[in-house]
Amino acid sequence: MRNNRILTFGLVLVLVISAFSMTFAQDEAEIVNEEGGAVTVTGELTYTLGFFADLWLEPNILLYDLTWAVTDDYEYTPTLESQTLGRVTSPLTESPVSYEITLPPTPQGVLHDVDNDGEEDAGVQVFTLGIIQNLWGDPYMDERDEFLFGYTSAVFDTGPNFADIIGGAVLVWAPDDEQSFPSAFGDDGVLFTDDDPSAPLPAGWTTVYLEEDAFVFDRSTAPSVALPEEAGNEQDDFSELSYTEAWDATIEKYSREYAFTDLKGVDWAAIDAELRPAIVEAEENEDALLFRRTLNEMAFMIPDGHMFGPFLVEDFQFDTSGGLGMAIRDVDDGRVIVNFLTPEGPAELAGIELGAEIVAIDGLTVDEAIAETFVWSGPFSTPWVERLQALRYVVRMPLDTEVEVTFINPDGEEETVTLVATGERESFSASSFNQGLEGTELPVEFRVLDSGYGYIKVYSFSDNLPLTTELWERALTTLTAQGVPGIILDMRQNGGGFTEVGYQMMSFFFDEEHVIEISGAYAESIEDFYIYEEVPGTFSLPPEDQRYSGPLAVLIAPSCGSACEYVVRSLTIEDRAVMIGQYPTQGIGGGWQPFFLPEGEQLPAISYPTYDEDLNVIIEGTGVEPDVVVPVTEETLFSEDDVILLAAEDYLNELTALETVDGGEVAIGDEVTGDISERTRVQYTLNVTEGDRFNVFVTDESGELDTVVRIYIGSADTDPVIVNDDFDDTTVNSGVEDIEIPQDFTLIVEVGTFEDASAGTYTLTIENFNEEE
């Protein structure tokens, strides 16, 4: 089993193979409830994870072959025949969730000899139960669905021992009464190791509860088996503590578990020393607002876009209640210009024009004013996102605030005016990263552009996951069937979600598995971070006929954050796609899940760093940079067109442009040999007369060059009158037989390859059909 984990808006669920760390002693097994063995299993799944119901929208309970854990074969995926599905029997929106499953009389898992008696036995099949949502293919689980398998009856260790079963329950099936199974943990406290004692096992199903002192062999027909929450998914709850107790627990948790303490040079002791007095004051005065403001202040001391504090609605509304009726942006030549004016707003009424350079605000240079602006949408992992957001907030202030603005209109002189902030919000909305979104978008939308290229926009990896994958498959299938010459993937307004979903979507663009990333996590069992190098994250490829191998351009922007960035980065493998945009992506990496505090507040536990193959932290603080950088100028800012989309079309036009080569004149009866390259077609001139009959064949020695022959009348600028890809079902060579000419023509015989994507040596034969007769 691979080390799969889920990032959602950068939220990471730890491995389905993680759980509480325990130690066990040896003892003999106890057989209870001898009723012949399990037929139907019921139980409850408990969770604290806040977004649990968002993961399993169409859940099933799965009987899962534990071969991978018995053999330490992390790549093993249970066969379809070994899988049995049950059902969830209560709403997922409330914990605990109940389930039931009927076991097969004879399961189809793998038999394992696990009794350590030194003799070769038939062995037993070992299973766990867990919850699954199937997103790909048939109703059962394959490699692409593994990341949505969790909350298992078998409890696993964390960190370096992530494959070790240390508790819970397993379901064991014996083909006869001659088999044995471990009856307790050995001294190492781990199942399926050499020091496990064993005991005889009756034939059929036995539910084995892995108790601390000795295992219990339960032979009831209807056992109850719990599906506990993995340790990494269990959310800490400090909500019942006092303010100071919750604060101390938070600082201790961050000091231990924050993924980027060293990377960012965070001094938690210094933060505690600076802010704890305010927490003490809040507790003494029962001041909830001061408590919340202090939490927010702490969040803004961490330069991490995944950090957040309480949303102080009243403070935000007061600070941003007034606007100057304009939005401003940097341009590449270093100026800050006005790129939006609210009609009859303060700026326009004062004579400020579109394109005006803003020189100073309240006596400070525009850069100084921006640097002193508090940006409510922070904190930030990267300076470019902070700068873009600060440009939005520097022209927001409390209502009726008077502000001196120094500017230079296009072709004008420097002027200074006093503006009074009004309640207009248009300028604020006009500069939003989410401008144009209505909230009704499907997670995946697609169409064919006027240019002929396919266009897919992915808004989220956290929306309805079954719908997301179904729409994605339909988009790729439809666009491929229409033969689009290239695809533009728009990720500019994708805020993140479940990274594994995105990775499996991107696998449609690859023909080989690649290592995408290596996961890390804070592991309770070692009280430190652990990097799961043994099980790197890889693509799990879809069926070959679903893959797209053509040109691919990806639109990126700073509003592409977290999981979006990981997914985009995966397309840089082997330069599979070109990135096009004006700025890098947001640069917020790692994964998080919330923990609870008093006053109903939550903070993020950012405990899951991610690495490349050289174990360098990826995404955090860097993002993904565009390969094609679209300039930020007056021309692009004021264009009514989508300049980034146009740049992608221009790139694909250049990439897919065909070169035509003049092969010279040929005549009926000729045989010529030539070389062809990708994106190239060779054109031959053939003069024919009325009554001529001939065959045309394009072949190669191996018979593997996938050629296409086209024949035009007069000029290749017209549509071809004949096109052939494969001459018959036995070859990818092309050819046309028995062409009869009704009058004198000049023909163009064009040799190409399928999708103009191949290169090689070919032979063109113009065979006289009359002579063949």
The segment(s) of the chain belonging to CATH 3.90.226.10 are: 444-655
- Averaged pLDDT, 95-122: 94
The segment(s) of the chain belonging to CATH 2.60.120.380 are: 659-772
- Averaged pLDDT, 522-547: 90
- Averaged pLDDT, 701-711: 94
Please list, in sequence order, all residues whose beta carbon lies within 8 angstroms of the beta carbon of residue 286, skipping any fewer than 6 positions away.
none
Nearest to 565 by CA among 544, 548, 587: 587
Could you tell me the pLDDT band of residue 10, with boundaries at 50, 70 and 90?
Answer: very low
Could you tell me the pLDDT band of residue 76, with boundaries at 50, 70 and 90?
Answer: confident
Could you tell me the pLDDT band of residue 7, with boundaries at 50, 70 and 90?
Answer: very low
The CA-atom distances, in angstroms, between 706 and each of 59, 92, 698, 711, 762 are 45, 52, 10, 17, 10
- Averaged pLDDT, 14-22: 27
pLDDT above 60: residue 452: yes
pLDDT for 771 equals 57
CA distance 97 to 102: 17
CA 310 to chain centre: 27
pLDDT for 28 equals 57
On whether the 322-422 domain is CATH 2.20.70.10, my answer is no
Could you tell me the pLDDT band of residue 11, with boundaries at 50, 70 and 90?
Answer: very low
pLDDT above 70: residue 772: no
CA distance 119 to 568: 52
pLDDT for 491 equals 98
Q: Are 47 and 97 in contact (CB under 8 A)?
A: yes
Candidate CATH numbers 3.30.420.40, 2.70.70.10, 3.60.10.10, 2.60.120.380; the one for domain 659-772: 2.60.120.380
Lowest-pLDDT range of 65-74, 313-322, 353-362: 65-74
Could you tell me the pLDDT band of residue 159, with boundaries at 50, 70 and 90?
Answer: confident
Q: What is the number of other CB atoms lying within 10 angstroms of the CB of residue 72?
A: 12
Residue by residue, DSSP assigns 509-554 as G-SS--EEEEEEEEETTTTEEEE-TTS-EE--PPPGGG---S-EEE
Superfamily name and number for 444-655: 2-enoyl-CoA Hydratase; Chain A, domain 1 (3.90.226.10)
- Averaged pLDDT, 421-427: 96
pLDDT for 666 equals 96
pLDDT tens digits for range 227-256: 999 877 788 999 999 999 999 999 999 999
- Averaged pLDDT, 619-634: 97
Residue by residue, DSSP assigns 716-742 as TTS--SEEES-SSTT-S-EEEEEEE-S
Phi-psi bin for 449: left (phi > 0), alpha (psi -120 to 50), beta? Answer: beta
Please list, in sequence order, all residues whose beta carbon lies within 8 angstroms of the beta carbon of residue 61, skipping any fewer than 6 positions away.
85, 86, 87, 88, 99, 100, 101, 129, 130, 131, 132
pLDDT tens digits for range 178-227: 999 999 999 988 999 999 999 999 999 999 999 988 999 999 999 999 99
Q: Are 501 and 594 in contact (CB under 8 A)?
A: no
Mean pLDDT score of the chain: 92
CA 298 to chain centre: 29
pLDDT above 60: residue 378: yes
- H or E segment and range at residue 475: helix 465-481
The segment(s) of the chain belonging to CATH 2.30.42.10 are: 322-422
Both tokens of residue 566? 């990981």
pTM value is 0.86
pLDDT tens digits for range 635-678: 999 999 999 999 999 999 999 888 999 999 999 999 999 999 98
Q: Are 168 and 228 in contact (CB under 8 A)?
A: yes
User: When comparing pLDDT for 679 and 354, which is higher?
Assistant: 354
pLDDT above 50: residue 52: yes
CA distance 244 to 287: 12
pLDDT above 70 covers a percentage of the chain that reads: 96
